[in-house]
Chain A
């Protein structure tokens, strides 16, 4: 009976979300902007609200909603790195975002791979970036599938097993993504953000009083029974072969992740789809306030320590929902499930769109000489389907906690920073240097992560990779200078770079 109510609420809202997505996608199709650019950038016409929810992107995915609670449960305060890096990252984006927007707008570029192809005047390099970024994003897509799987399994009170739930999550999300496009996703994002904020505030106002004497009582209890959770390196340092989540880890992770926001697919999509650069400036100023709400899942994770003790490994990601199941009636479980499910569905849709767009624009045209816009659009959707299937396979083969998956994805993405961002500011960066750096950096991250050495001596593997990456870039640049090789690119700086000395910022 309980499962029936909760499942019905979840199903009803998911249908509503898909319909809303489809309607929003169709609404503008009669206009001039159809095809790939429309599907992916929503016609580059988004005002503050839509751009806001896209930029907030990672702020409220199942990573933060379920994952932050999971890490709050498993480790405690180390998970606050999310709040710190999002705040620092928006400070960086406040400066770099408008530059990227202007660059893409001036040269009619619709994504990161496109930007790279234009910067280095080599279409194949765009294809390389598209493929690389797709691989780097796989853990993040796996994260969303796993998050949604947790929801389906918990909301049906276990009637659907976790393994079947992953498959359900894959089917629902792929159908939604292929149908809706960015504008559709952005509108469902508004619904998602409203639900996420509403449910988090409600849970924060209710659960600590239900189980304790309010937040004060919660903190006193945690300090008494779980004091390790309240300071870095948190609880269970060194467990799971993960090294210590101490101050060094916190600092290095915040630095890497905040920089990664500049190349992170969902934020880049949010930037480029904005109506103008001022929308970007406005949103990057105020978005950090939004992060305050991220304390809530962590605190709920700590509350769950007392209510559903004994969760380990990937189970910790169920902490928040288990708590809700324990303390609230079935229909509330259903609504919280909806919020959590949408927080997986919408960001995943945006990631998939970015992947589909990059392939449609940068990879497929190289493979097929003549390709119609419709055909390109269809192929992009096929790429989305394949990527989702690979992520689903990874879910079964290499499950991991949600926050862990996000960290790995960001560590890999960081290796694109020199080639993509530094290249837009520094004319002397030749593509051979950028690509060499990318290869070396990615190799470092891959080896450190796959051998269980992340963090290494407390340092985030992404930062170690980035350091190796930058050294390689400098070495290759120096050796090119020594052998006096010249670039064949004779375009003026204003055409190639996103910023030159005489442009005001």
Chain B
């Protein structure tokens, strides 16, 4: 069924946290610029943490109700 196939593609969203936290590390592993005083690496990890629930939500399992 095409519906089920489409839903399975949405599961790719579950990789997003891995990509956000890990892939850019060589570039974000720096303390400058400090965003609002927060050293850059910390700032990046904060952003990735905030984005994670959204990615999981986009993967669209029913619990999002």
* Chain A residues close to B by CB (< 8 Å): 77, 80, 83-84, 87-88, 90-92, 94-95, 98, 215-216, 219-220, 222-223, 227, 230-232, 247, 250-251, 254-255, 258, 278-286, 288-289, 291-292, 295, 504-505
Contacts and interface: CB of A to CB of B under 8 A. Distances in A.
9 contacts: A84-B22, A87-B49, A88-B17, A91-B15, A91-B16, A92-B14, A258-B18, A281-B63, A285-B63
Interface in B8-65: 8, 11, 14-18, 21-22, 25-26, 29-31, 34, 37-39, 41-42, 45-46, 48-50, 52-53, 55-57, 59, 61-65
Contacts of A222: 39
A216 B37 CA distance: 5
A219 B42 CA distance: 11
Contacts of A216: 37
Taking chain B's interface residues, is the majority helix, strand, or loop, or is none over half, making it mixed? helix
Given A87-B49, A247-B25, 20 more contacts: A77-B41, A77-B42, A80-B42, A90-B52, A91-B16, A94-B14, A94-B61, A95-B14, A215-B38, A219-B37, A220-B37, A223-B34, A223-B39, A231-B41, A247-B26, A278-B63, A281-B63, A283-B63, A285-B63, A505-B7
Contact of B41 (A87, A232, A283, A288): A232
A284 B63 contact: yes
A88 B15 CA distance: 8
Interface of B: 4, 7-8, 11, 14-18, 21-22, 25-26, 29-31, 34, 37-39, 41-42, 45-46, 48-50, 52-53, 55-57, 59, 61-65
Given A80-B42, A83-B49, A292-B49, A91 B31 contact: no
A283 B8 CA distance: 21
A326 to B, nearest CB: 24
Contact of B17 (A87, A279, A286, A292): A87
A280 to B, nearest CB: 7
B39 A281 contact: no
A292 B46 contact: yes
B63 A87 contact: no
A83 B49 CA distance: 7
Contacts of B48: 84, 87
A67 B39 CA distance: 22
Nearest to B21: A84
Contacts of A258: 18
Given A87-B17, A286-B53, A231 B45 contact: no
Give 4 nearest A-B pairs by CB, closest first.
A281-B63, A216-B37, A230-B31, A282-B63
A215 B37 CA distance: 8
Given A84-B21, A216-B37, A504-B7, A91 B29 contact: no
Contact of A91 (B7, B14, B25): B14
B57 A285 contact: yes
Contact of B39 (A91, A219, A283, A504): A219
B22 A295 contact: no
Given A278-B63, A285-B56, A250 B25 contact: yes
Contact of B30 (A92, A231, A254): A231
Contacts of A255: 18, 22
Contacts of A84: 21-22, 45, 48
B57 A91 contact: no
A281 B62 contact: yes
A83 B45 CA distance: 8
Given A278-B63, A282-B63, A91 B37 contact: no
B42 A295 contact: yes
B54 to A, nearest CB: 9
Contacts of B49: 83, 87, 288-289, 291-292
Given A219-B38, A247-B26, A284-B56, A88 B64 contact: no
B22 A251 contact: yes
A103 B42 CA distance: 39
A90 B38 CA distance: 26
A232 B24 CA distance: 13
A95 B11 contact: yes
A95 B39 CA distance: 33
B25 A232 contact: yes
A505 B50 CA distance: 25
Contacts of B42: 77, 80, 230, 295
Most buried by A among B17, B25, B39, B65: B17
Contact of A80 (B17, B45, B63, B65): B45
Contacts of B29: 231-232, 247
